[in-house]
Amino acid sequence: MSRYLKTALVLAAICAVAALVLALMNMLTKPYIEAYEANKVTSALEQVSCGMAIGEREEVNSGYVQYMHKLTSSGKTTGYILGLVSNGYGGQLTIVASYDANGVVMAAKLIADSETPGLGKKAENDGYMDIFVGTGTADRPVPTKKGMLNDLDVATVSGASMTFTGISKALSSGSDFVKSL
């Protein structure tokens, strides 16, 4: 019996040391991870701002829209950047997108996802979000189905239907949100 007790105590000690080391590593790396994530968002905001001044973040939490920044040019509000959250095949998709004052998509960037490499991860590639640029009008709505795309764009999103659907629904919702402002 004492042999089992000794083994149990040794295993408990190993688990306690491992838990302590993991907690210490988490404590040491947390600020760096947070700074990295903040820089990633700031960089994405600058990329989609189209050269306009970015205003302060305003929390929204309305459907897909989590927050917004006003875009200004010469002191006038000329558009908005929205922080959008949707779901893809691998889980949550986090997107930042800029819209003009009429709800037309000017630029978009996927900043966080858990999509499948080679399929849904294609949405991170340069040029993928160009499918949506200029959409959001009555004549040219944000494409939410593959049937709304031309052949080249269908090939771009091929194999990643759920990723495309998640992104397109978020961008369409963002366009509708801006139109309602």
pLDDT per position as a tens digit, 108-147 = 998 877 777 766 677 777 778 888 888 888 888 888 777 7
Quote the mean pLDDT of the chain: 86
The pLDDT score that the predictor gives to residue 160 is 67
Measured over all CA atoms, what is the biggest interatomic distance in the chain, rounded to whole angstroms?
A: 81
The pLDDT score that the predictor gives to residue 155 is 62
Q: What is the DSSP letter of 52?
A: P
The pLDDT score that the predictor gives to residue 18 is 94
The pLDDT score that the predictor gives to residue 85 is 93
Q: Are 131 and 153 in contact (CB under 8 A)?
A: yes
Domain residue spans of the chain: 49-180
The pLDDT score that the predictor gives to residue 80 is 94
What's the pTM? Answer: 0.79
Q: Are 122 and 128 in contact (CB under 8 A)?
A: yes
The pLDDT score that the predictor gives to residue 157 is 65
The pLDDT score that the predictor gives to residue 95 is 92
The pLDDT score that the predictor gives to residue 149 is 73
CB-based burial label for 39 (10 Å; 0-12, 13-18, 19+): exposed
Question: CA separation (Å) from 13 to 4, 21, 22, 27, 31?
Answer: 14, 12, 14, 21, 29
| Low-confidence stretches of the chain (pLDDT beneath 70) | 1, 118-120, 151-160
The pLDDT score that the predictor gives to residue 106 is 94
